[in-house]
Amino acid sequence: MNERLIELTEVNPSELFGVNNRYLEIIKNHFPKLKIVARGSRIKAYGETEVLDEFEKRLQMLIDYLHRYNSLDDNSVERLLLANGNDIPVNGTKDKDTILYGVNGRAIKARTKHQKEMVDSMVKNDMLFAVGPAGTGKTYTAVAIAVNALKNREVRRIVLTRPAVEAGENLGFLPGDLKEKLDPYMQPLYDALRDMIPYEKLESYIEKGVIQIAPLAFMRGRTLDESYVILDEAQNATHNQMKMFLTRMGKNAKFIITGDPSQIDLPKKQISGLKEALAVLKRIPSISIIYLDEKDVMRHRLVKQIITAFKAIDSE
């Protein structure tokens, strides 16, 4: 009798095995000729080599499915164990607007014309500027694109950054250490990630540096290879900060820059690096610029009306 040891490094064992080992029991019933013992993140299986090979292949299919869809159920486990070849059965019908499957298998979609253009643009280009007012889904769509690339192993890490610029408040008066002072600025990025990656896996990614969230000033001196990098709230980046950020781009990297030129919190005499970049980079191939507007707003219906009302004032 042969022994096969499998380490579960890419998945939470409790998610793979189910509540009270429900899915593990289905797996064991499917392989009656094997003795299967699960302890923590290790699985030991005993049996004939040919059956062990099939067991390991099916287990990897389950892991890949869970990695892609963030959920398992009795039906999906049964389908994966019985599926022909190495193809992973599709979780329902994935329409062309679905970017990825988030927590509990929820479909994260590009819901408007310009959000879809963002997704399509990053297939063809290495850098994208997504510009528009609040609530248009710039940041959320950008994070979804990046997480999908990480899931598909197109990149090794995601780097998310924002300028730590005060919107009328004084950062120094906030309590806590530097991380505690800066975390509120990064909260929209955390919120998006928590919709797309289960909590324990997200914490593991952050701990291992697979996902990095940091203020823009912390980007200086870095070269970002094989990374999906998002600069959010870019309207608050200065000329020097924007130039510094854009030149961090390394091999096999993709950059998305999002911002709202109508909400600049820089001192009045300070020129926004976003506005400057949009002017000087618009003719460079492989750099795409997409402008979102009130038609892309996915928040409360009043937000569209508020944006339209302020736009009328700003144009006077």
Greater model confidence, 186 or 85: 186
pLDDT digits (tens, 9 = 90+) for 6-39: 998 878 888 899 889 999 999 999 999 999 999 9
What's at 134, amino acid-wise? Answer: A
Greater model confidence, 243 or 104: 243
CB 67 within 8 A of CB 10: yes
Question: What are the residue ranges spanned by the domains of the chain?
Answer: 2-82, 98-314
pLDDT score recorded for residue 97: 81
> Burial code of 113-137, b = ≥16 C-beta within 10 A, e = fewer?
ebbbbbbebbeebebbbbbbbebbb
Flag whether pLDDT at 164 surpasses 80.
no
pLDDT score recorded for residue 138: 94
Mean pLDDT of 228-241: 94
pLDDT digits (tens, 9 = 90+) for 140-149: 999 999 999 9
pLDDT digits (tens, 9 = 90+) for 73-107: 888 899 899 887 666 655 654 567 899 988 888 88
Flag whether pLDDT at 282 surpasses 60.
yes
CB 64 within 8 A of CB 88: yes
d(CA 42, CA 294): 51
Q: Which two tokens stand for residue 290?
A: 């997409």
CB 272 within 8 A of CB 264: yes
Flag whether pLDDT at 68 surpasses 60.
yes
pLDDT score recorded for residue 231: 96
Q: Say which range, 61-65, 115-119, 251-255, has the weakest mean pLDDT.
A: 61-65
Could you tell me the strand order of the sheet in which 35-39 lies?
2-7, 42-47, 35-39
Q: Which two tokens stand for residue 146?
A: 């990046």
pTM for this model (two decimals): 0.77
DSSP 161: E
Q: Say which range, 192-196, 211-215, 224-228, has the weakest mean pLDDT.
A: 211-215
CATH class of residue range 2-82: alpha beta
In degrees and rounded to multiples of 5, residue 96 shows phi and psi of -65, -15
Task: Give the sign of the dihedral formed by CA 166, CA 169, CA 186, CA 291.
Answer: negative
- CATH H superfamily, domain 98-314: P-loop containing nucleotide triphosphate hydrolases (3.40.50.300)
pLDDT score recorded for residue 168: 43
Contacts with 45 (C-beta within 8 Å, 6 or more apart), sequence order: 3, 4, 6, 31, 34, 35, 36, 37, 52, 55, 56
